[in-house]
Structure 1
Amino acid sequence: MSDAANKSAKHEQAIIVNVAIAVIYHKEQYLLGFRHAAQHQGNRYEFVGGKIDTNESAEQAVIREVAEETGIAIQDNTMVKLGRLHHDYGDKQVSLAVYKIELTAAQYKQHKPCQHGLEGQALAWVDKGDLLAGKYHLPAANKTILTWLSLPTNIAITYPLAHFSAHPDPAAAWLQYHQETLAADTWIYIRIKDTGAKNLAAQLMDIRPDILAIVPEQDERQSLTTEDSTKMPDVNASEQIVANHLTHAALMQWFDGNFDSNKDAFASDQLLSHDRPLIVSCHDIASIRAANKLANLRLQQVLPPVIAAFLSPILATQTHPNTEPLGWESWSVLAQLADMPIIGLGGLSPAMIDQVLAHGGVSVAGIREFL
């Protein structure tokens, strides 16, 4: 047997450990444990969690592990699924089911003084900013979780350029409107829907250096089309871009073009060499499965992750009046199937974040109610 075949066989025989992870927090403080040097991936900080027992759900395992390790009872707290991660350490493969749990003020006050868990492990409450900045050394499988935690609770979406078509200069009107109405330090999905006005995204980011932007994935491959494009800021070079967005149609085109029912192979393409995190759009179970496949392949190739999925529409919208909404229950079922955090979209307002959290999402997004 060749070396490659031996490696493949060993990979298939590697033990897969199913683990439930609890990201416990109160406001900007997050709870970490510290792994003993003798443990696998020792001398690292980690989120609370442990192995999922046979005939035990991931949710049950999270509640049990948190109680056993810290004494915190979270069965009555809101538990939001962030996603699932599959990581190969070589000698061991792990599948992590990750949940985010917010403690009440009383729970935080009671447990904050505890410097050690019930199993003797060191515990630390750390600032979210320090955690996201990488000041705490985590196992490799946990690093994507930090990207997930960077997601805000609200994401605004720009109006398309056509919304300002009645104005003598639609581009100028679009730019002025969004420049003046965007909240400070917000995440914004810049969706112009006009390839000839791509430079507007760069201009908006140049004028508003405080915003963090999501831009359409195809913008990475398109050149500016205006005659004076060399004088415009380059959207592709902007450090304000936190993710590229992949439409439902583009996601399914990629999936249908690379997979079939008889094999689990994929072609090397731009979605598997993209150097920015991705946010995808999903509307049904087929697109959720495609998003999961894309997310898993990007993790295998150590690429920036799929950090979230817009799942829509929850409710009826003015933008797509003829599209039947999913409704809360069906939306929640789909959200539970996703391997990445879910952003609620379609007929929502920022005030509906608690309803989104209760049904399995982490954020809300929209246009009219968010600008």
Structure 2
Amino acid sequence: MTRKQVDVAAGVLLRPDGSYLLGQRAADTVYAGYWEFPGGKVEPGENPAQALIRELDEELGIRVTRLRPWLCREHLYEHAHVRLHFHEVVAWEGELDDKVHTALAWVQPDGPTCEPMLPANGPILKALRLPRMMGITHAASVGADAQLAALDAALARGLRLVQLREAALDPEQRAHFAREALARVRACNGLLVINGDPGLARQLGADGVHLSARELAETAKRPDFEWVGASCHTRAELERCAGLGLDYALLGSVQPTATHPGQPALGWPAFTVLAEGLPMPVFALGGLGESDMERARDAGAHGIAAIRGAW
């Protein structure tokens, strides 16, 4: 059976409190009663951003003033092969005046969602649960006590995603440090993934694992954890992440770093090209801090991952 190809622009309208907008499909539509992100079909002569601006005007009566590229996912429905171009919509003018949905709802990423959701949107809801800032530990360089103190301070500032990257610690030290770090992150309802040690991640009940580029190349199937990500430097590595169904990728280095002196930096234009059109969130990595967040997201990044810049 040959399905028609349809490009759809979908908008993730975001409020300052982090909530996003969902609409319930009307009774006279396909998948009536299901919830979706607002948007619609890309018409001839339009790019997805232009289509979304038009659709949100027609559907919701708002004029988009700022949007960002985010994810691109494909889904096979019975009636069509749909390619969904998701954009974050962060600023608009006018009050919502819904013209096509049965109902609208603002939903918090970590709260209950609306059911049933359109089948293509499950991974999008999970991606929205992923915090925007990832702190990468370096206890082997600064000392375990100093890193835990820095972790406490960062969690107090709102950090909720931590990658434990401590290959230089011996196994006993690494296990002790990981146990202490996980307890702190869990107390704040955050997520902790462990780099390069799936055995330790299982032993401690960590939220997931993070793969190096070498481990990514050697991995035949997605590891069995709730959250799995990988470090990438090329488009091929990013596409391998997508093929394995990973939840996120790190891409860098965007700027020169002390960790890799002399290594050429990507810069933001190259980052945008490499990260474009992928189905999973991509974090910008390398010489960045929280002050770079807006620039990163405008370039198509989900957020920022940092070693020194996070602490």
TM-score (norm 2): 0.87
Number of residue pairs matched? 304
- Residue 3 of structure 1 corresponds to none
1:214 and 1:245 in contact (8 A); partners too? no
SS in 1 for 2:63: coil
SS in 1 for 2:292: helix
| 1:37/1:217 CA distance change after superposition, 3 Å | farther
- Partners in 1 of 2:58 and 2:230 — Cα distance? 37
Amino acid at match of 2:120: A
Q: Which has the higher strand share?
A: 2
Match of 1:206 among 170, 180, 183: 183
- Residue 18 of structure 1 corresponds to 7
- Residue 254 of structure 2 corresponds to 314
Residue 217 of structure 1 deviates from its aligned partner by: 5.7
| 1:313/1:37 CA distance change after superposition, 3 Å | same
- Residue 242 of structure 2 corresponds to 292
Match of 1:93 among 62, 67, 81: 81
Match of 2:95 among 111, 128, 132: 111
1:36 and 1:121 in contact (8 A); partners too? yes
| 1:54/1:280 CA distance change after superposition, 3 Å | farther
Match of 1:137 among 116, 134, 139: 116
Residue 84 of structure 1 deviates from its aligned partner by: 1.4
1:158 and 1:190 in contact (8 A); partners too? yes
| Correspondences of 1:253-264 after superposition (within 5 Å) | 253-254=218-219
1:188 and 1:211 in contact (8 A); partners too? no
SS in 2 for 1:344: strand
Alignment pair present for 1:39 and 2:38: no
- Residue 231 of structure 1 corresponds to none
| 1:333/1:176 CA distance change after superposition, 3 Å | closer
| 1:111/1:89 CA distance change after superposition, 3 Å | same
SS in 2 for 1:250: helix
Name the Cα RMSD after superposition: 2.5
Match of 1:57 among 47, 54, 67: 47
- Partners in 2 of 1:223 and 1:333 — Cα distance? 33
SS in 2 for 1:279: strand
- Partners in 2 of 1:370 and 1:32 — Cα distance? 32
SS in 2 for 1:216: strand
- Partners in 1 of 2:277 and 2:73 — Cα distance? 13
- Partners in 1 of 2:83 and 2:131 — Cα distance? 25
- Partners in 1 of 2:24 and 2:76 — Cα distance? 21
Residue 103 of structure 1 deviates from its aligned partner by: 2.2
| 1:142/1:223 CA distance change after superposition, 3 Å | closer
Identify unmatched segments of 5+ residues in structure 1.
Answer: 1-9, 165-169, 225-233, 255-268, 296-305
- Residue 57 of structure 2 corresponds to 67
- Residue 127 of structure 1 corresponds to 107
| Correspondences of 1:146-157 after superposition (within 5 Å) | 146-157=125-136
- Partners in 2 of 1:40 and 1:146 — Cα distance? 21
Identical columns (%): 25
Amino acid at match of 2:20: Y
- Partners in 1 of 2:225 and 2:148 — Cα distance? 31
- Partners in 2 of 1:176 and 1:310 — Cα distance? 23
TM-score (norm 1): 0.74
Residue 102 of structure 1 deviates from its aligned partner by: 0.8
SS in 1 for 2:155: coil
- Residue 264 of structure 1 corresponds to none
Q: Answer with 53-62 or 315-324: which moved more.
A: 53-62
SS in 1 for 2:236: helix
Residue 370 of structure 1 deviates from its aligned partner by: 1.4
Residue 128 of structure 1 deviates from its aligned partner by: 1.6
SS in 2 for 1:61: helix
Residue 195 of structure 1 deviates from its aligned partner by: 5.8
